[in-house]
Amino acid sequence: MNLDLLGPTISSVVPILLLIGLGVLLRRLDVISEAAVEGFKRLVVNVVLPAVLFLAFLGLQWDPTTLWLVVLVPALCFLLLGIGYLIPRWLGTPRVSPFLFTGFEFGMVGLALFTAAYGMEHAPAAAIVGLGHEFFIWFVFVTLLKRQSDGAVSLGATLRSFVTSPVIIAIAAGLILNLAGLQWFMTGNIVAQPLTRTLEFLAGMIVPLILIIVGYGTQLTRAGVRQAAPFVAVRFAVCLVLAVVVVFGILGAWLGLPQPLQAALFMLLILPPPFIVPLFLPASRASEITFANNVLSLYTLVSVVAFLTYVAFVPVLN
d(CA 151, CA 157): 13
Alpha-carbon distances, residue 18 vs 37, 207, 212, 215, 316 (angstroms): 18, 12, 9, 10, 20
Residue 6 has pLDDT above 60, yes or no: no
Q: Inform me whether the pLDDT recorded for 277 exceeds 50.
A: yes
pLDDT given for residue 127 in this prediction:
86
pLDDT in tens, 105-143: 988 788 888 988 888 888 888 888 888 898 898 888 988
pTM for the full model? 0.82
Report residue 92's pLDDT band, with 50, 70 and 90 as the boundaries: confident
> Are 229 and 298 in contact, with CB atoms under 8 Å apart?
yes
Q: What is the mean pLDDT of the chain?
A: 85
Distance between CA atoms of residues 54 and 194, nearest Å: 15
Using the predicted structure, report yes or no on whether residue 306 has a pLDDT greater than 50.
Answer: yes
User: Tell me: the pLDDT tens digits for 147-163?
Assistant: 877 665 566 776 777 77
Instruction: Report which DSSP code applies to 286.
Output: H
Judged by DSSP in three states, 86 sits in: coil
Decide: 233 and 91 in contact? Cβ < 8 Å. Answer: no
- How far apart, in whole angstroms, are the C-alpha atoms of residue 236 and residue 242? 10
User: For residue 64, is pLDDT > 80?
Assistant: no
CA-based angle 282:287:291, to the nearest 5? Answer: 105
